[in-house]
């Protein structure tokens, strides 16, 4: 049986949830205080870059199953299920900021005129769902388990593949307290059950921790292969062969074993910091996760050190060692197939290069506007070759597919210098070296120049 659903928050998580739940046959109202965003969404315009979303948005708008409003009170009052999908940005101490979650909880409490299930999609610390439950109960005078229920339903979406991940998830995790809430959530996600997606029914706390544990482990895996890549460079090993062979082991698997400049995005940096903070608040030292955070930041800065060395500018007596150098930066998003620059390695790399006196010429097919809001002082170009024109060095930061098939002879003509730092190991090293480039990847064995 389809449900009337309200999704509060139309950011990345909320928008995907809204279009996906509507496509399952539910009647969905997306809520956001940003009137301009609401108007755009109702007109079928997606405010973020995410492949496939616009098609699902327009289809469900046309069907009448999906709409967007700014009036949270009416939307909450008229629905059966409320999804909380607002941001939980990190505070300075690493804690998740739950202000927006609290505001939504208060809105629910003020409009709890019939039984509702309140579902937390936002990534929140362990114990937050009970806090939401108690806050609503106190403000409304209503009884949990009778007048309302709170459910934890964390998301596991990958930016760039969110539509596929929503409709074909590895698992659906639902933390619950009452059988009535379980039945309603089963109805909400009935379409997934038909396709035999595994459902994990568990406690609120277990669901909350599953999300953090999953993201932290992936961050550990990325950081591990990056450290192995750094070692491979020193001992003369090929990290690609190492990673590929490791991945053949069924206990390890091949995913997230791709060396690079460090992880970024809206999840891994925030969630690892929050997990350390959660551990601290409970007297548990999350030493491994803490070390991963440190190593990841070091990996980003290491890319600039490599670039300095390749340019012959690594001099401890000269802090502004890149002064007068023009660096072409290819890729600004934290990963391919997104315009998201949050915690992107490019942020650290560009900031460090600017501090050292370099001039930056940048290109990214999707993320330049978002990056420009943070770094308006650098030059943005319309394509790779314009960015490379007159550059002393070129650094590839994001693994966009277009960077896998660069016209290296054309780059050679365009650039003033001959240094390429390929932090994603996308370029054919043999071709680059044969053309006279000073080429380096991350953990790769580089052929000698003739």
Contact in structure between 15 and 42 (CB atoms under 8 Å): no
- Check 6, 79, 267, 313 and give the catalytic one: 267
Residue in 358, 260, 247 with CA at minimum distance from that of residue 302: 260
The helix (run of H) or strand (run of E) holding residue 396 is strand 393-396
Any residues with CB less than 8 A from the CB of 343 and at least 6 apart, and which? 264, 265, 266, 268, 269, 270, 334
Please tell me the distance from the alpha carbon of residue 7 to that of residue 18, in angstroms, as a whole number.
6
For every residue of 22-62, DSSP letters joined together read HHTT-EEEEE-S-HHHHHHHHTT--SS--TTHHHHHHHHHH
* CA 71, chain centre distance (Å): 29
Contact in structure between 84 and 121 (CB atoms under 8 Å): yes
Please tell me the distance from the alpha carbon of residue 89 to that of residue 123, in angstroms, as a whole number.
10
Reply yes or no on whether 267 is catalytic.
yes
Please tell me the distance from the alpha carbon of residue 239 to that of residue 429, in angstroms, as a whole number.
14
**For residue 139, how many C-alpha atoms fall within 13 Å in the half-sphere facing its CB?**
18
- Catalytic machinery residues: 267
């Amino acid at each position: 049986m389809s449900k009337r659903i309200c999704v509060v928050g139309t950011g990345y998580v909320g928008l995907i949830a809204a279009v996906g739940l509507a496509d399952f046959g539910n009647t969905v109202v997306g809520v956001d205080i940003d009137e301009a965003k609401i108007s755009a969404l109702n007109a079928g315009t997606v405010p973020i870059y995410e492949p496939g979303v616009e098609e699902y948005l327009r289809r469900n708008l046309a069907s009448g199953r999906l709409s967007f409003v700014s009036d949270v009170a009416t939307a909450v009052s008229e629905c059966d299920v409320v999804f909380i999908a607002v941001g939980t940005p990190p505070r300075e101490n690493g804690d998740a900021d739950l202000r927006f979650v609290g505001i939504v909880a208060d809105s629910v409490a003020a409009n709890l005129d019939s039984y509702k299930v309140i579902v937390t999609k936002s990534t929140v610390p362990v114990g937050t769902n009970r806090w939401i439950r108690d806050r609503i109960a106190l403000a409304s005078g209503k009884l949990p388990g009778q007048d309302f229920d709170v459910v934890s339903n964390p998301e596991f979406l990958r930016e760039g593949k969110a539509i596929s991940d929503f409709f074909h998830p590895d698992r659906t995790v639902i933390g619950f307290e009452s059988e009535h809430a379980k039945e309603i959530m089963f109805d909400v996600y009935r379409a997934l059950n038909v396709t035999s997606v595994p459902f994990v029914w568990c406690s609120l706390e277990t669901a909350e921790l599953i999300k953090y544990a999953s993201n932290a482990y992936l961050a550990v895996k990325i950081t591990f292969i990056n450290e192995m890549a750094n070692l491979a460079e020193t001992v003369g090993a090929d990290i690609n062969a190492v990673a590929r062979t490791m991945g053949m082991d069924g206990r390890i698997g091949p995913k997230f074993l791709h060396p690079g400049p460090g992880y970024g995005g809206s999840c891994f940096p925030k969630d690892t910091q929050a997990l350390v903070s959660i551990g601290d608040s409970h007297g548990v030292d999350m030493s491994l996760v803490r070390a991963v955070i440190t190593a990841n930041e070091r990996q980003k800065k290491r890319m600039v050190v490599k670039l300095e060395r390749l340019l012959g500018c690594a001099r401890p007596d000269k802090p502004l060692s890149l002064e007068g150098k023009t660096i072409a930066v290819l890729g600004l998003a934290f990963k391919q197939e997104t315009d998201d620059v949050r915690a992107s390695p490019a942020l650290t790399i560009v900031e460090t290069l600017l501090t050292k006196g370099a001039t930056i010429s940048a290109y990214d097919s999707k993320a330049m506007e978002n990056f420009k809001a943070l770094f308006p002082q650098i030059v943005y170009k319309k394509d790779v070759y314009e960015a490379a024109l007159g550059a002393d060095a070129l650094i590839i930061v994001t693994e966009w597919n277009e960077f896998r098939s660069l016209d290296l002879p054309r780059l050679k003509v365009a650039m003033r210098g001959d240094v390429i730092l390929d932090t994603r190991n996308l370029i054919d090293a043999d071709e680059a070296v044969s053309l006279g480039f000073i080429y380096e990847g991350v953990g790769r064995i580089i052929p000698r120049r003739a």
